[in-house]
Chains A and B, each alone.
Chain A
Amino acid sequence: MSSLVRNAPARSGPASAITAEVRVGRLAAFVMLILVVLALAGCGSAPHHPAASKAKHFGGYPSFLPRNTLNYHSDTVLTGTVQRPALTSQGDGVEVKTPAWSVLITVTGPQVPGEGLPYQAPTTTCTWVVTMSDATGSVPVSPSDFSSIDDFNHVYWPTFVAGQPQPPKILRPGMKLSFELRAVEAIGEGLMRWAPDGNNIVAKWDFVVEND
Chain B
Amino acid sequence: MPISRAPHRLLRAATGCAVGVLALVGVGVPVSIASAAPAPPQAVTISSTGLKPGAIKHVWLIILENKSFDATFTGLNQNSYLWKTLPAQGVLLKNYYGTGHSSQDNYLAMVSGQAPNEDTQEDCAISDKLIGPNSDIVSKGNLRTDANFGQMDSPANASQPSGANAPLGQNGCTYPTDVPTLFNQLNAAGESWKGYAQDIGGAQTPGSTSFVPDTVPNREAATCAGPGTAANNPDTNPTSMSSNFPAGVTTFTSAQANDQYVAKHFPFPWFEGLTGAVNASGPDTPPLNEPSNGGTNCDANHIANLDSPTVGLVHDLQSAATTPAFSWITPNNCSDAHDAVCHGNNLSGAFNSNGTPNYNSPTPFDPETTSPVNFTGGLYASDLFLEYYIPLIEQSPAFKQGGLIDVTFDEAFPAFTYTGNSFNNANDFGPTSSDQPNFTSSIISDTAGENLFGRNVHFEPTGPNSTLGTNAQGDQLYPGPGNNAFVDRPPVCTQTTPALVPADCVPGIVRGGAGSPPGARTDAGATGSSASNVIADNSIVADDTGRQVTGTNIPANSFVGAVSDIGPNFPTTSSGAADTGSFQLVDQNGNAADPTGPVSGITLSAEGDPSDLAAGQTPDPLFNATLPTTGGGDTGSVLISPFIRPGTVSDVYYNHYSWLATMEDIFNVKSGHDRTKLAAGTVSGGLDGQGHLGYAAQPGLRPFGLDVFNNPFGGRPGPFQLDAFNVVQLPQPLWQRMSLAVATPLLALTAGAGYLWYLRRRRTALSGRS
> Which A residues have a C-beta under 8 Å from some C-beta of B?
14-15, 18, 21-22, 25-26, 28-29, 32-33, 35-36, 38-40, 42-43, 45-46, 51-62, 64-66, 68-70, 72-76, 78, 82, 84-92, 108-112, 115-118, 120-122, 129, 147, 149, 151-153, 155, 186-191, 193, 195, 198-201, 206-210, 212
Contact = CB atoms under 8 A, between A and B. Distances in A.
Chain B contact-residue range equals: 35 or more
A189 B515 contact: no
A92 B253 CA distance: 27
B424 interface: yes
A36 to B, nearest CB: 4
B471 interface: no
Interface string B727-770: 00000000000010110111011001101100100110010001
A201 B575 CA distance: 10
Contacts of B179: none
Nearest to B516: A122
Query: What does DSSP make chain B's interface, helix, strand, loop or mixed?
Result: loop
A206 B425 CA distance: 12
5 contacts: A29-B752, A29-B753, A42-B741, A53-B357, A116-B125
Nearest to A73: B80
B515 A122 contact: yes
A62 B399 contact: yes
Contacts of A52: 356, 391
A35 B400 contact: no
B745 A120 contact: no
Given A32-B749, A109-B340, A25 B756 contact: yes
A40 B355 contact: no
B342 to A, nearest CB: 9
B416 interface: yes
A180 B19 CA distance: 80
Interface string B130-167: 00000000000000000000000000000000000000
Given A66-B88, A108-B374, A206 B77 contact: yes
Contact of A28 (B318, B340, B752): B752
A151 B89 CA distance: 33
Interface string B517-557: 00000000000000000000011010000000000000000
B572 interface: yes
Given A51-B395, A210-B66, 15 more contacts: A18-B763, A22-B763, A25-B755, A32-B745, A36-B748, A62-B642, A72-B355, A87-B76, A88-B77, A92-B380, A111-B341, A118-B168, A186-B514, A191-B421, A208-B413
B395 A75 contact: no
A66 B253 contact: no
B574 A53 contact: no
Contacts of B541: 151-153
B413 A189 contact: yes
Contacts of A58: 317-318, 392, 395-397
A76 B426 contact: yes
Given A56-B359, A61-B394, A188-B414, A115 B254 contact: yes
B253 to A, nearest CB: 4
Contact of B251 (A78, A109, A116): A116
A110 B574 contact: no
Given A69-B85, A149-B578, A75 B756 contact: no
Given A35-B748, A191-B421, A210 B339 contact: yes
B742 A40 contact: yes
A72 B359 CA distance: 14
B749 A33 contact: yes
B419 A54 contact: no
B357 A72 contact: yes
B360 interface: yes
Given A52-B356, A82-B572, A66 B646 contact: yes
B103 A212 contact: yes
B88 A91 contact: no
Nearest to A29: B752
Contacts of A109: 340-341
Interface string B64-76: 0010000100001
Contacts of A201: 570-574, 576
Contacts of B168: 118
B366 interface: no
A29 B715 contact: no
A75 B378 contact: no
B79 interface: yes
A87 B425 contact: yes
A39 B570 CA distance: 57
Given A39-B744, A59-B400, A108-B341, A188 B749 contact: no
A129 to B, nearest CB: 8
Contact of B78 (A60, A92, A186, A193): A92
Contacts of B755: 25, 28
Contacts of B359: 53, 55-56
A191 B84 CA distance: 22
B374 A118 contact: no
A30 to B, nearest CB: 9
B577 interface: yes
Interface in B343-402: 351, 355-357, 359-360, 364-365, 374-381, 383, 387, 391-392, 394-397, 399-400
Contacts of A191: 416, 421, 578
B749 A91 contact: no
A212 B123 contact: yes
B242 interface: yes
Identify the 9 closest CB pairs spanning chains A and B, nearest first.
A116-B254, A91-B376, A116-B253, A89-B77, A115-B254, A91-B380, A58-B395, A111-B341, A189-B416
A46 B571 CA distance: 52
Nearest to B577: A153
A189 B572 contact: no
B647 interface: yes
B253 A75 contact: no
A195 B763 CA distance: 92
Given A108-B374, A118-B126, A151-B421, A195 B340 contact: no
B49 to A, nearest CB: 18
A193 B338 contact: no
A32 B365 CA distance: 44
B394 A62 contact: yes
A91 B378 contact: yes
B312 to A, nearest CB: 14
A147 B574 contact: yes
A209 B378 CA distance: 11
Contacts of B383: 75
Contacts of A70: 391
